[in-house]
A and B are shown apart, each in its own frame.
Chain A
Amino acid sequence: MTSPHPGHAAAVPVLALGETLLVTLQGDLHDRTAEQLQQDVTHRIVRSGAAGVVIDISGVDVVDSFLGRVLAEIAESARLLAAHTVVVGMRPAVAITLVELGLTLPGLTTALDVEQGMELLTRSRPAAADRRGRGT
């Protein structure tokens, strides 16, 4: 079941786990909330020097072209800020629907769940971590 308050557009929390930002999307996202998220994530990357972003969409039952575009743009803008993005937890029905819709998001890195997404980022991290001065 999705949110019992469909009229309520809550902001999406962005958690910092070490050098990774964890974004958990839940239920039905309003367009404005999704757009706000892009700003929040990019600001948090710059403020915290995060090297990776994991976006968990396991709680999202519909990804339409709007939300798909927002995810792709978050990943692109994060890349320009030297952070890797991994989208994790896509439901099978969502994947099937996106392909039929024609939205295959080739630029998006995916993993099955948060754990694997984190692992993927850790493996690609050392170079990035050395490049940045931590804690400044």
Chain B
Amino acid sequence: MPVSGPPVATSLPVGSDADLAWVRQRIRQTAAGLGFGLVQQTKLVTAASELARNTLVHGGGGHVEITPVTRDTTRGLRLSFVDSGPGIRDVELALTDGHTSGGGLGLGLSGARRLVHEFELDTGPGRGTTVTVVAWTADVPAARSGE
């Protein structure tokens, strides 16, 4: 199958707001190459922007891994935002709309979760935070279950 690039993971640093811009741009390009529609691209890039900013602001910087994935015939993109910061003590609270510890609007984690199909948070006090999200090119029916 002719694709523009091999489906390998790309790792990008998240250490400054210039990095955030670059991360958004690379994810946009990758998603477009995989066949994501414009609205899907915009949702994914917006989610990525929220999560990368969390990595930068709350995690003290880190990196993002961008991995094209397939399931059956559907293509998707997996993004992992990794930091070795203080971690999140109360995950439920952190995922609540309007809860903020960084002076923002408190929509970063909860909002990003709504914009993707799969969302996984791996964190704990003192062991950093990894947020992994997956978006598929075709809508998955079970996307919003499991609240």
Contact = CB atoms under 8 A, between A and B. Distances in A.
Interface residues of B, number: 28
Given A6-B21, A62-B42, A92-B39, 4 more contacts: A2-B28, A30-B21, A62-B49, A65-B105
Given A97-B39, A100-B114, A101-B115, A62 B18 contact: no
B20 interface: yes
B22 A61 contact: no
A2 B39 CA distance: 17
The 8 closest A-B pairs by CB, nearest first: A93-B42, A101-B111, A31-B17, A64-B49, A93-B39, A28-B21, A65-B107, A6-B22
Interface of B: 17-18, 20-22, 24-25, 28, 38-39, 41-43, 45-46, 49-50, 53, 97, 104-105, 107-108, 110-112, 114-115
Given A28-B24, A65-B104, A93-B39, A102 B114 contact: yes
Interface in A1-21: 2, 6-7, 9
Contacts of B18: 6-7, 9, 30
A97 B49 contact: no
Given A61-B28, A97-B43, A102-B97, A31 B111 contact: no
A63 B39 CA distance: 13
Contact of B46 (A7, A30, A31, A62): A62
A12 B20 CA distance: 18
Contacts of A6: 18, 21-22, 25
Interface string A56-87: 00000111111011000000000000000000
A96 B115 CA distance: 10
A127 B50 CA distance: 41
A107 to B, nearest CB: 13
B26 to A, nearest CB: 9
Nearest to B18: A7
A68 to B, nearest CB: 8
B111 A65 contact: yes
A97 B40 CA distance: 9
Most central of B22, B41, B50, B111 by chain A CB within 10 Å: B111
Nearest to B56: A31
A97 B97 contact: no
